[in-house]
A and B are shown apart, each in its own frame.
Chain A
Amino acid sequence: EPEVTQTPSHQVTQMGQEVILRCVPISNHLYFYWYRQILGQKVEFLVSFYNNEISEKSEIFDDQFSVERPDGSNFTLKIRSTKLEDSAMYFCASSEWGGAGYGYTFGSGTRLTVV
């Protein structure tokens, strides 16, 4: 069964450093998403991406965050200057069709720890 692959599984970074979280969506999927889960809290929507542009973003997704599909297979989330409160599990997801009703496939997540 096709999978969404996320790397690394765990990343530790110093506060103020830039991090890039990487995702390889399922190959025929066209819609891509990032969610995050701070320890003990809800899974929260960050951003959706289609046709090489952001289609929706949450209030969490401020100027410190950016997304990119640099080469037609990877989908990345960049945090420019990490803060302690960015520590969370970050999930990438993709779907063949837009709209959550069609169903996403989630990756296994990257645990980001900011120290």
Chain B
Amino acid sequence: AQSVTQLGSHVSVSEGALVLLRCNYSSSVPPYLFWYVQYPNQGLQLLLKYTSAATLVKGINGFEAEFKKSETSFHLTKPSAHMSDAAEYFCAVSEIQGAQKLVFGQGTRLTINP
């Protein structure tokens, strides 16, 4: 069975500081990995995905994530936080072959301090 653990339910950074949101996964087969963002009163928007190509994946809004198989991690980073980045971020995993469902982590709420 697959699972995702996001370390820290709440992360707070200053505007302009590095954003680091942690995600570790468990999967018995090679995974696909995703980061989704949810702004208040909105749906889940795909930030980026890893689908077994390049291990460093670039997404929208300046975010990127690196797949590290040895560490079973897929941490999300952004060099310089902006006030508009304040949102809930979800890491998710799915199997490569056949599976259609996503297994989500519990989410990390990112707060940006001015």
For A75, the chain B residues whose CB sits under 8 A away are none
Residue of B nearest to A92 (CB): B43
**Does residue A101 face the partner (Cβ distance < 8 Å to B)?**
yes
Q: How far is the CB of A101 from chain B (nearest CB, A)?
A: 4
For B106, the chain A residues whose CB sits under 8 A away are 41-42
Q: Are A33 and B100 in contact (CB under 8 A)?
A: yes
Q: Are B42 and A43 in contact (CB under 8 A)?
A: no
Complex partner residue of A43 from B41, B90, B99, CB under 8 angstroms: B90
**Does residue B102 face the partner (Cβ distance < 8 Å to A)?**
yes
A111–B50 CA distance with the chains assembled, in angstroms = 30
For B96, the chain A residues whose CB sits under 8 A away are 101
A-B contact count (CB 8 A): 62
Q: How far is the CB of B33 from chain A (nearest CB, A)?
A: 10
Residue of A nearest to B36 (CB): A106
- A42-B107, A43-B90 known; A100 and B102 CB under 8 Å? yes
Residue of A nearest to B3 (CB): A42
**Does residue B87 face the partner (Cβ distance < 8 Å to A)?**
no
**Does residue B103 face the partner (Cβ distance < 8 Å to A)?**
yes
Q: Are A43 and B104 in contact (CB under 8 A)?
A: yes
For A101, the chain B residues whose CB sits under 8 A away are 32, 49, 51, 94, 96
Within 8 A of A (CB), among B49-108: 49, 51, 90, 92, 94, 96, 98-107
**Does residue B29 face the partner (Cβ distance < 8 Å to A)?**
no
**Does residue A20 face the partner (Cβ distance < 8 Å to B)?**
no
Q: Are A99 and B100 in contact (CB under 8 A)?
A: yes
Complex partner residue of A55 from B94, B100, B103, CB under 8 angstroms: B100
Q: How far is the CB of A23 from chain B (nearest CB, A)?
A: 11
**Does residue B25 face the partner (Cβ distance < 8 Å to A)?**
no
**Does residue B44 face the partner (Cβ distance < 8 Å to A)?**
yes
What are 16 residue pairs bridging A and B, where the CB atoms are less than 8 Å apart in the complex?
A: A6-B43, A33-B101, A42-B105, A43-B104, A45-B103, A48-B100, A48-B101, A55-B100, A91-B43, A93-B44, A99-B94, A100-B92, A100-B100, A103-B46, A104-B102, A106-B43
Write the residues of chain B forming the contact surface with A, with a CB cutoff of 8 angstroms. 32, 34, 36, 41-46, 49, 51, 90, 92, 94, 96, 98-107
